[in-house]
Amino acid sequence: MAQIELLVRDFFNKHPDIRQARKKGLVNRRALARYIVKAEHLEHTTIDALISVLRRFDTEKAKDEEQFNKLLAEVTISTKENIVILTLKKSPRAIEKLAKVISCIDYSKGEILKIVQGALSLKIFIDESNLKAIKEIFDDKDIISIMKNLAEINILFPKEAMEAKGVLSYIASQLAMEGINLIELITCTPELTLYVEKKHLLKAYEALWKLEESAKANQGKINKQK
């Protein structure tokens, strides 16, 4: 049963449109189970097991949505344009030069700097206005790529978000349904920072704003019922 549950979760991650239709009550469990069997090339005998997992998901979904509504109703969203992501080869030489990068940033002007270290590379998130100065710090052979014309969306959650599960995937799937591709995301609980193409900033912001307003409305209904 655990394997079926993982398969169903993976299926919904790959098909956020179907998850949304199910959320609206447009798909019944048995029809969905048959579709999953066909799409995932499963044995027909797994239909009953799938229905059982989907029924449990409905219970979990109701609890999760109540929690998401509470969190999303209290978020603060801010945006910033003209962001660049500079990707470097991870080397002792590049790491030593990071101190020089920090000295280029004027935080009093609201300039940003985020540094993410991976197993093979370093990523530096900066304002495009600082690209020339920071690029000159590193050798050309250290630079893997430079991504321009990006925008940053910062979502500040209430402290309760630290105990919530699935918030990140919920937001990512909602943006995916709007056709918005996430270039990068950084978490620093209770903050979530998303990076999208600059041309998609307004659409992404509107999608998140709708989530926030819907959550406030749902939370208001719950408060009235109490």
pLDDT at 195: 97
Residue 41 scores a pLDDT above 90? no
pLDDT at 182: 92
More confident of the two residues 222 and 206? 206
Least confident of 75-79, 83-87, 122-126, 167-171: 167-171
Q: Tell me what percent of the residues of the chain surpass a pLDDT of 70.
A: 87
pLDDT at 44: 78
220 band by pLDDT with thresholds 50, 70 and 90: low
Reported as a single tens digit per residue, the pLDDT across 159-196 is 766 566 677 877 887 888 888 989 999 988 888 999 99
57 band by pLDDT with thresholds 50, 70 and 90: confident
Q: What is the mean pLDDT of residues 121-129?
A: 97
For the domain 83-149, what is the CATH code?
3.30.70.260
SS in 3 state form for the chain? CHHHHHHHHHHHHHCHHHHHHHHCCCCCHHHHHHHHHHHCCCCHHHHHHHHHHHHHHHHHHHHHHHHHHHHHCCCEEEEEEEEEEEEEECCHHHHHCHHHHHHCCCHHHCCCEEEEECCCEEEEEEEHHHHHHHHCCCCHHHEEEEEEEEEEEEEECCHHHHHCCCHHHHHHHHHHHCCCCCCEEEEECCEEEEEEEHHHHHHHHHHHHHHHHHHHHHHHHHHHHC
12 band by pLDDT with thresholds 50, 70 and 90: confident
In this structure, what are the phi and psi dihedrals at residue 134, rounded to the nearest 5 degrees? -75, -35
Place of tokens 């540094």: 115
CA 100, CA 126: separation in Å to the nearest integer? 14
